[in-house]
């Protein structure tokens, strides 16, 4: 079996027709959902690209792997999906984005060069990179955000788009009357991107995927990782005007949220992104473009599915659709992601498993508490391995795919956020190491703990499904807060770094000492079988204390 | 300045005359104490050799570096004292024991061979090994405990001791009438080891140290790491009969400790080691030998001090004397180490700093809560560096050496113990990942938390300095327990793995995004200075959506 691990960037869980979106139809996502299980309570380990992805790829919490925000390198030697799968004979390939920064200092210390196979894998998050393109070729007075080469920009230049950065000037800019209409300006979000649709990012990556599939060595896990529907919010025709302000749902927000908010929430609301997305004209421009981008993703997914069906590969391919986090889109007076309302921390997750064991669950949903780190574990099991649970903290989703009830499933989902390098840290006046948030969610109660001396936030999603009422300072809920803190503390004490010894290896160590002559408890040797002390007996004495 | 970082193995904090031992005189330890500061509340991060040493060498808690017991490899790439000091231009050398197991699987994954400089450092815990000898050449039906070559055994063979394992047959065996008197049998502990004193382990390592000092490139940090007074408890003449049963202090133990003990404590008391050391004849044989071994260490330390004085190097050398943990020696009905009574978790720590700034503190003691991980931080500062506190969790002891009061010193010392591979796990019926203990000690109250559903243990060292009365099940002390759990939980949530980004690097990241063209919040660009959007403005439009 092969695995197509398809990730979209910043795709909200509820912007799919199979998840109930009222006006956006995504027949190809739905087609996969009809073949598999849709997980309705899937959470990322951190609602930000880089940190979330490092958790997807390592199967570990962000405070375990340490790459807790965008641009924090993943430490050299940290094991990834690719390391685990290759040991099981399954290749692991990348086509698209990872947002991974190599630990250049660590690699240098270990003498690893990115131009070797081993060094390249360390640089590419354990994947063998077919195409690596993180899709954010922003450029400002200090130069490019991303220092790497952009295969996509090179493609556009080859296609004749006249710019040094056609990503910015064509793929992410619209046609305008007097000057280029940058996709960075929300007022331009309803303009068509100034590019042929088939040259835009999502079809381009789909083409690369189909090329890969035509020649791939099996078995493989291919991480197809689209940049869209991530901003800049601009999409080529005909997607740019498929949706309009009438399709924009009312913002999920309440004036009460701005009334004496928790300081951390208040700081995020007051940042540029929150202020911008609180404007109706922003939502009315952005959301139709966001929907158009998703619609384009859906159409391109259809091309992949058609190919798999035409070749019969669909019967031998596990298809996984997911996202690295959501997008507030103005809900809760916020934009982007970063905090833990469900618009941000919940993700779409659909797994279609072709094996007969999964027939019973096709087209069903599963509301177990699932975490992004579960995918690495799931793929290891799909590749025929046992999950090395001294390294991988996620758990295989196979029981849910096979219609079984796993024993002792997790009681809470945990997500983390490190805001050290943001302005919110200044606003709140906390130290870098205190600029960390932790979500504990049990399916009903969601608590957010903030380091740095703040009270917790608490939401009851049963009575307040929209998460408007922060109960964190209401003494009536202290018992819930205490209970969720107990979960947080148990999790914090988890064993996350004993990665060099498996359970099986520990078992083999258990009785070793005496059998290799370590006997620090014998008075006269009668305490143990004679064989254990034979080495120390029966030798003739002689005095060697003198020359 | 150079650093002599001298470690003894299993040396109790109170078996030195400067620490008040009634009958054991250690004039050379005292000589260093007179030149420096003796820390009276120094604690190891785990009361077992390997885990403790990995914390000394990395400056990190055992649950941060993951090598939580003997024989758990230190993960490849984990930074050590040597990595930090070499960056500052200070060599870092090993003469003796580390008990470090290389992460062979991780090294193989990264293509690192131990026969390269980089690979050798990964294999030797970051040190450049002058001599590596862990000093435990036990041998049983399954072969050797330690698979490496023993430079000490080779030395003895060269000296003509007729054995394949002269460590076992001579250095750690006594002279007897009818057959070899193994040092593994406590009944032999009063016999002289069957070896010339100058060939025994402690003088041998001292000779290697003096050879090193005669030719060392400066500045250096040399880790002189003796195996003694660690078991086997046997010592050559004249040390074997310097002390006798009359010098053995009464055991610090109470019958009340065996009356309904905490299950974890009960399991350790009932193991072979505890049962053996609870016998008076064991203590009467072992403790005089243990004292003799320390006396020999003291004499050998004198040789090093004499050399430093004779060459004048003492004025340019920081001397650090410490141990990796203590030894119960029958106190609390226990032998060896493993638990958190002060006999086990507290260590001697004496630092003599030759610099004038330290003149004011010479010959003084310091009772601040100090941890083993503080030494890496101290050495980094001594080498002229700033402590990279995103990696090193310990804190520099310089303020105490210089007679200053540091701000915000730690309120509790933490120590951990992983008993996964011991029989106590079977006795207690806990899972491997629950076989973990945590000590939280604030200088008066000591709480031990055990994973796996046990109540905590609690001792009040003010009213019960001998730690006989476990208050962990007394509701009257719930407030103390709660307070110490708060400390434990805050510690458990610490940021320990964000090792690839320093505070300074985070600062540089803070304002970068907008200046490299990442602007996901602009309606029309008026929100930011024009320079930030210049890249996206002023270009002539043209329609590139068609061929």
Beta bridge partner(s), residue B193: B174
The predicted-structure confidence for A400-436, as pLDDT tens digits, reads as follows 999 999 989 999 999 999 999 999 999 999 999 999 9
A chain contacts of residue B395, beta-carbon cutoff 8 Å = none
Structure token pair of residue A211: 């090329």
Q: What pLDDT is attached to residue B447?
A: 98
Q: Which of A194, A433, A544 sits opposite B495 (nearest CB)?
A: A433
- List, as ranges, residues 327-386 from B with C-beta within 8 Å of A: 335-336
Q: Is the pLDDT of residue B438 over 90?
A: yes
Contact between A69 and A49 under an 8 Å Cβ cutoff? The reply is: no
SS3 B84: helix
What's the CA dihedral at A364, A367, A369, A372 to 10 degrees?
Answer: 40
Q: Is the pLDDT of residue B148 over 90?
A: no
Contact between A60 and A49 under an 8 Å Cβ cutoff? The reply is: no
Cα-based distances in Å from A322 to A23, A210, A296: 20, 19, 16
| Residue ranges for chain A with pLDDT beneath 70 | 547
Contact between A38 and A65 under an 8 Å Cβ cutoff? The reply is: no
Beta bridge partner(s), residue A437: A417, A450
State the nearest Cα–Cα gap between B116 and chain A, in angstroms: 10
What is the radius of gyration, based on Cα positions, of chain A? 26
Q: What pLDDT is attached to residue B299?
A: 98
Pairwise CA distance, residues B229 & B293, whole Å: 5
3-state SS, one letter per residue, for A53-115 = HHHHHHCCCHHHHCCCCCCCCECCCCCCHHHHHHHCCCEEEEEECCCCCECHHHHHHCCCCCC
Question: Rounded to an integer, what is the distance from CA A7 to the centroid of its chain?
Answer: 9
Structure token pair of residue B404: 């200053």
Q: Decide if A182 and B64 are in contact by the 8 Å CB cutoff.
A: no
- List, as ranges, residues 496-515 from A with C-beta within 8 Å of B: 496-501, 503, 506, 509-510, 512-515
Q: What pLDDT is attached to residue A547?
A: 61
B306: confidence class by pLDDT, cuts 50, 70, 90? very high
Q: Own/partner pairs for A473-476, CB < 8 Å, 24+ apart?
A: none
What are phi and psi for residue B207, nearest 5 degrees? -60, -45
The predicted-structure confidence for B292-303, as pLDDT tens digits, reads as follows 999 999 999 999
Pairwise CA distance, residues B155 & A45, whole Å: 55
Q: Decide if A142 and B516 are in contact by the 8 Å CB cutoff.
A: yes
Strand-pair category, A37-43 with A364-366? parallel
Contact between B324 and B314 under an 8 Å Cβ cutoff? The reply is: no
Q: What pLDDT is attached to residue A27?
A: 98
Q: Decide if B77 and A73 are in contact by the 8 Å CB cutoff.
A: no
Q: Which of B65, B144, B279 sits opposite A497 (nearest CB)?
A: B65
Which part of chain B is CATH 3.40.720.10? 2-409
Q: Is the pLDDT of residue B407 over 90?
A: no
Q: Which of A76, A145, A540 sits opposite B77 (nearest CB)?
A: A76
**Residue of A272, A236, A183, A171 whose CA lies nearest to B536:** A183
Report whether the peptide linkage leading into residue A219 is cis, meaning its omega lies within 30 degrees of zero.
yes
The predicted-structure confidence for B502-512, as pLDDT tens digits, reads as follows 999 998 888 77
A chain contacts of residue B186, beta-carbon cutoff 8 Å = 522-524
Q: Is the pLDDT of residue B363 over 90?
A: yes
Give the N- to C-terminal CA distance of chain A in Å, as an integer. 72
A chain contacts of residue B176, beta-carbon cutoff 8 Å = 541
Q: Which of B111, B178, B194 sits opposite A544 (nearest CB)?
A: B194
Strand-pair category, A139-140 with A317-323? unpaired
Length reported for chain B: 547
DSSP state of A488: H
**Residue of A90, A95, A126, A84 whose CA lies nearest to A376:** A84
Q: Own/partner pairs for A134-138, CB < 8 Å, 24+ apart?
A: A134/A97, A134/A98, A134/A99, A134/A227, A135/A9, A135/A96, A135/A97, A135/A167, A135/A201, A135/A227, A135/A228, A135/A230, A136/A227, A136/A230, A136/B518, A137/A165, A137/A167, A137/A168, A138/A168, A138/A184, A138/B516, A138/B517, A138/B518, A138/B519
3-state SS, one letter per residue, for A383-399 = CCCCCCCCCCCCCCCHH
DSSP state of A264: H
Pairwise CA distance, residues A273 & A184, whole Å: 12
Pairwise CA distance, residues A33 & A45, whole Å: 23
Q: What element of type H or E holds A344?
A: helix A342-345
Pairwise CA distance, residues B53 & B75, whole Å: 14
The predicted-structure confidence for B456-497, as pLDDT tens digits, reads as follows 999 999 999 999 999 999 999 999 999 999 999 999 999 999
Q: Decide if A139 and B516 are in contact by the 8 Å CB cutoff.
A: yes
- List, as ranges, residues 279-338 from B with C-beta within 8 Å of A: 279, 281-282, 335-336
pTM: 0.96
Pairwise CA distance, residues A95 & A202, whole Å: 12
How many beta-carbon contacts under 8 Å exist across A and B?
354
Closest residue in chain A to residue B278, using alpha carbons only? A521
State the nearest Cα–Cα gap between B95 and chain A, in angstroms: 23
Pairwise CA distance, residues A230 & A337, whole Å: 11
Architecture in CATH of A2-409: 3-Layer(aba) Sandwich (3.40)
Q: What pLDDT is attached to residue A363?
A: 98
Closest residue in chain A to residue B450, using alpha carbons only? A493
SS3 A352: strand
Q: Is the pLDDT of residue B546 over 90?
A: no
Q: What pLDDT is attached to residue B535?
A: 86
A chain contacts of residue B196, beta-carbon cutoff 8 Å = 544-547
Q: Any chain B CB within 8 A of the CB of A533?
A: yes
Contact between A406 and A426 under an 8 Å Cβ cutoff? The reply is: no
SS3 B22: coil
B547: confidence class by pLDDT, cuts 50, 70, 90? low
């Amino acid at each position: 079996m092969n695995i197509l691990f398809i990730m979209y960037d910043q795709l909200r869980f509820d912007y799919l027709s199979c998840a109930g979106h009222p006006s956006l139809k995504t027949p190809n996502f739905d087609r996969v959902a009809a073949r598999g299980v849709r997980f309705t309570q899937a959470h990322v380990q951190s609602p930000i690209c880089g940190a979330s992805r490092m958790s997807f790829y390592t199967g570990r919490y962000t405070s375990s792997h340490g790459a807790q925000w965008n641009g924090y390198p993943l430490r050299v030697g940290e094991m990834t999906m690719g390391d685990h799968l290759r040991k099981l004979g399954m290749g692991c390939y990348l086509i698209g984005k990872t947002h991974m920064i190599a630990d250049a200092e660590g690699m240098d210390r270990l003498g690893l060069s990115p131009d070797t196979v081993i060094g390249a894998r360390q640089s590419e998050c354990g994947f063998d990179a077919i195409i690596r393109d993180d899709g954010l070729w922003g450029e400002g007075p200090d130069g490019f955000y991303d220092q790497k080469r952009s295969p996509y920009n090179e493609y556009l230049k080859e296609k004749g788009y006249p710019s040094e950065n056609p990503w910015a000037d064509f793929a992410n800019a619209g046609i305008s009357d007097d000057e280029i209409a940058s996709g960075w300006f929300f007022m331009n979000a309803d303009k068509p991107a100034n590019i042929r649709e088939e040259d835009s990012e999502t079809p381009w990556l789909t083409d690369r995927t189909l090329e890969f599939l035509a020649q791939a060595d099996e078995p493989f896990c291919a991480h197809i990782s689209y940049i869209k529907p991530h901003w800049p919010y601009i999409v080529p025709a005909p997607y740019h005007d498929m949706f309009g302000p009438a399709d924009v749902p009312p913002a999920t927000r309440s004036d009460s949220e701005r009334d004496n908010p928790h300081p951390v929430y208040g700081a995020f609301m007051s940042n540029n992104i929150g202020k911008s997305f609180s404007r109706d004209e922003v939502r009315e421009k952005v959301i139709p473009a966001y929907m158009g981008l998703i619609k384009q993703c859906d159409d391109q997914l259809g091309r992949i599915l058609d190919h798999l069906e035409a070749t019969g590969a669909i019967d031998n391919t596990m298809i996984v659709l997911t996202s690295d986090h959501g997008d507030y889109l103005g809900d809760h007076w916020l934009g982007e992601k970063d905090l833990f309302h469900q618009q941000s921390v919940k993700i779409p997750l659909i797994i279609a498993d072709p094996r007969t064991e999964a027939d019973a669950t096709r087209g069903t949903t599963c509301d177990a508490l699932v975490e992004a780190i579960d995918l690495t574990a799931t793929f290891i099991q799909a590749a025929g391995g046992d999950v090395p649970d001294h390294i991988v903290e996620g758990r295989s989703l196979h029981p849910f795919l096979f219609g079984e009830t796993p024993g002792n499933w997790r009681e809470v989902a945990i997500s983390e956020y490190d805001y050290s390098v943001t302005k919110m840290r200044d606003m709140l006046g906390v130290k870098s190491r205190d600029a960390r948030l932790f979500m504990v969610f049990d399916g009903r109660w969601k608590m957010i703990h903030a380091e740095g001396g703040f009270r917790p936030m608490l939401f009851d999603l049963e009575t307040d499904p929209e998460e408007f009422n922060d109960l964190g300072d209401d003494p009536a809920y202290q018992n819930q807060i205490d209970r969720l803190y107990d979960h947080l503390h148990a999790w914090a004490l988890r064993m996350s770094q004993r990665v060099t010894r498996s359970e099986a290896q520990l078992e083999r160590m258990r009785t070793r000492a005496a059998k290799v002559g370590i006997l620090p408890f014998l008075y006269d040797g009668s305490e143990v079988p004679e064989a254990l002390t034979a080495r120390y007996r029966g030798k003739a004495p002689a005095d060697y204390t003198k020359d």
